[in-house]
Structure 1
Amino acid sequence: MFEYHGWINVLETAEAEDDDIGLVEARLREIAEGIRRRIDEIATPYLLDLRWMNGSLFLHLAGHPNHRDPEIVDFFREVGERAPGSYGLLHVRDDEDHPHGNDVRVLRMVRGRVTEHTEPLLSPCIPVLEDPFEG
């Protein structure tokens, strides 16, 4: 089982916006088009949504396939490479990920760079989220 939930605020840069807002928006629209093409290539049946909200670009992703989909984690990292000012979180629960099969892992994106951590609020999955199996 592979469960994931995440979001990214897609930003070209972490710098304060230029004086020319039109140029900043045009560059972000180019980034958005590249991300949209990748979303179409991935063609997942799960949530993979890129949208503008109040002038800002956000990506939301979530799913629950039977097995790990490395393309999802790779795509999360790729967005940070395309838009190095971006930040966001991707929570992943993967029971086939040894030695982290009993943890919820969080991929943290800051300034486009991704690091991986154990999510202390949801780990260990047993007994925090589920009772132990009583066979």
Structure 2
Amino acid sequence: MFEYHGWITVRASATADDEEEEEGGLIEIVDGLRRRIEQAVDPYLLDLRWMNGEPFVHLGGNANHRSGAEDVIELFAHVGAVAPGSYGLLHIRDDEARGHENDIRVLRLVRGVVSEHTEPLLSPCIPTLEDPFMVRCAP
């Protein structure tokens, strides 16, 4: 299982010296991201929209295997590469991740760099989110 939930505030840079130039570049960046999102084959939540003058990406889903959702992680990193002022979080639960089968992991995007962390508020999944599986033998 590969469950994910995330958001990104899309910004061309961490500093805006000239708002008009920044806005023009941001529009081009968002148009490129929109084309990339339209080509995605992901059947889950993948949304890019402007709110209060700023673009945001929202994503979420629950695939049977990580291989079906690799595009999500690639998109998250791609936003950082094309818009290095962007920031956001992507929470992932991947029961196929060696050494992290019982964790919620967080990808953090800040200044174009993606780093991975364990989410302490939701990990370990068992017993934090779910009860342990109990095998009962018949008497």
**TM bucket normalised to smaller:** over 0.9
> For the pair shown, which has the larger CA radius of gyration, 1 or 2?
2
**Alignment partner of 1:13 is 2:13:** yes
Tell me the amino acid that sits aligned with residue 42 of structure 1. A
SS in 2 for 1:6: strand
The CA RMSD over aligned residues, in Å, is 0.9
Poorly superposed stretches of 4+, deviation over 6 Å: none
Offset of residue 22 of structure 1:
2.5
Identity of aligned residues (%): 62
SS in 2 for 1:64: strand
Tell me the amino acid that sits aligned with residue 27 of structure 1. G
Tell me the amino acid that sits aligned with residue 41 of structure 2. A
Offset of residue 102 of structure 1:
0.4
Counterpart selection for 2:42 from 33, 44, 55: 44
Matched with 2:55 is 57
Moved more, 120-129 or 34-43: 34-43
Gaps of 5+ in 1: none
Matched with 2:23 is 25
Paired residues for 1:1-135 under 5 Å: 1-15=1-15, 17-19=16-18, 21-68=19-66, 69-135=69-135
TM-score by length of 1: 0.95
Q: Distance in 2 between matches of 1:99 and 1:8?
A: 27
* Number of aligned residue pairs: 133
Tell me the amino acid that sits aligned with residue 36 of structure 1. R
Q: Distance in 2 between matches of 1:129 and 1:27?
A: 42
Gaps of 5+ in 2: none
SS in 2 for 1:4: strand
Q: Distance in 2 between matches of 1:86 and 1:40?
A: 20
